[in-house]
Chain A
Amino acid sequence: MEKVIAGKTIHVNEEGFMTDFKEWDNTIGEALAAENELSLSPRHWEVLTYLQNEWKNEVPLSIRKIGKSGVVDIKEFYQLFPKAPLKTATKIAGIPKPASCI
C-alpha cells in the first residue's frame, strides 16, 4: 500500500515496513523514526547504515549478530531503540523485517 511521508509517497506492507528500499532516503528515515517516537542521533545513524549494508549483502539479521558486529552491543542497541529494537531499526532503515527468532 502507499503512504505519504516527509512529502513523498512510499510503498509499505501492512506492518509499515517499506517494500522498495530505492524509495528510502534520510528524510524518510527521520520521519519514520519520529513515527516511532525516536529522534536520530549520530549513533542511531551508524547502526541504521550498518543494518542497511548487512541487508544489501544478504546477511540475515539477528540480535546475536548485531551484538557481535563491533558497531553496537546488545545493551546499547536496546538503549537506542528501546521498544522492539530490531523491528524498529529495520523499519526506520527502510529494509524488510528480519525473520529471525533470536
Chain B
Amino acid sequence: MSENKGEIKKMMIILSKATLENVYAAFVLANGARMEGIESEIFFTFFGLEAVHKKKMNSLHIATVGNPAMHIPTMVGGLPGMEALATSMMKKEMAKLDMPEVSEFLEILSDSGVRMWGCKLAVDMFHYKKEDLFEGVEEIITVGDFYKRSEGEGVHMLFI
C-alpha cells in the first residue's frame, strides 16, 4: 500500500451473479470509478453473463430467498411471483433515484470508457456466442487474460 500513497488507478471488477442488486452494485462501482478518473473493467463470468446477455439483461430479478435483508420469511420469499413483486418494487425505488435500466446502464458504462469482457469458460458452459452479448463486451477472454490485464500499480480487484 505504500506505492503512490495507495492511490487507486484501476478497478478490476468480476461479476459472477445476475441478481439485480449485485449487477447494480458492480455497475455503480465501475461507473463511480470512471467518474473519479479511475480506470475500470468488468469481467462477466458464470451467471454474471446474464447482465450482458441481450435477451436477459432487462429481466433480471432480485433474490427474495436466502436474503435476510429482505425481512420476509424464506418460505414466503419462495412463493410464485414474490421475486417479480419485490423486483418491481425495487425498480420503482431505483427509478426515483434516477437509476437506469440494465441495458441503458451498460450504454453509460461503455460510453464512460468501462472496458468489458466475457469469461470464456462460462460462455462455453452456457453455450452463448459473442453475438448474444451486449456490443460493449469487447472480447471473450480467459481468466489468465484477465489477470494479465490487471497487472500494474494501484490496481484493485473486486469479486461480486
Which A residues form the contact surface with B (CB < 8 A)? 60, 62-65, 67, 73-75, 78, 82-87, 100-102
**B28 on interface, CB distance cutoff 8 Å:** yes
B111–A102 CB distance below 8 A: no
Asked if B36 and A102 make an inter-chain contact with CB atoms under 8 angstroms apart, the answer reads no
Residues on B lying within 8 angstroms of A by beta carbon are 28, 31-32, 34-37, 98-100, 104, 108, 111-113
Query: Is the CB–CB distance between A102 and B98 below 8 Å?
Result: yes
Whole-angstrom distance from the CB of B130 to the nearest CB of chain A? 22
The interface residues of chain A lying within 8 Å CB-to-CB of B35 are: 63, 84-87
A75 touches B28 (CB 8 A): no
Looking at the complex, which one of A65, A83, A102 makes contact with B31 (CB distance below 8 Å)? A102
Residues in A with CB closer than 8 Å to B31 are 63, 102
Besides A86-B35, A102-B31, 16 new A-B residue pairs in contact (Cβ under 8 A), listed by A number: A64-B98, A64-B104, A67-B108, A67-B111, A73-B111, A74-B111, A78-B34, A78-B113, A84-B36, A85-B35, A87-B36, A101-B28, A101-B32, A102-B28, A102-B32, A102-B100
Given contacts A63-B31, A64-B98, A101-B28, contact A78 B37 (CB under 8 A): no
> Are B108 and A84 neighbours in the complex by a CB distance under 8 Å?
no
- Do residues A78 and B112 form an inter-chain contact, with CB atoms below 8 A? yes
Query: How far does the alpha carbon of A46 sit from the alpha carbon of B34 in the complex, in Å?
Result: 22
